[in-house]
Amino acid sequence: MDDTAFTLANYKQYISSRKLMASKCENCSNVFLPPRPVCPQCHRRNMVWLELSGKGTVVGFTSITIVPTPMAAKGYGRDNPYLTAVVQTEEGPGITALLDGIDASDPAATSVGMAVVADFKEET
């Protein structure tokens, strides 16, 4: 397997190795998440993998009480909401994320501008 190719399989392999990866254009230096093989800015294929630090800042968030079926199966719902956020990574691109370890029933405990660090949860 060519681990330099920008494939979903390679991206999932990095995630299973607890690495948050993006692609970086060697021509214009833009960074993209999810990774892609062609730069949408300069339209070149001179992309390389870039491991992100996992550090970021919350730029928006919401408390979810009406949950999709997979989250209901994990115990979330009206009485046990969860928080999702858009996080801008240190390296630039944004990513949506589940905010864990914060009381979702108290949205005041979370704020735009809050620093966060990525963690990888094992699915059961």
What does the pLDDT look like over 75-109, one tens digit per residue? 999 999 999 999 999 999 999 999 988 888 887 88
Q: Are 77 and 59 in contact (CB under 8 A)?
A: no
> What global pTM score does this model have?
0.83
Instruction: Please give the backbone phi and psi of residue 16, each rounded to the nearest 5 degrees, phi first.
Output: -65, -20
Give the model's confidence band at 1: pLDDT under 50 very low, under 70 low, under 90 confident, else very high. very low
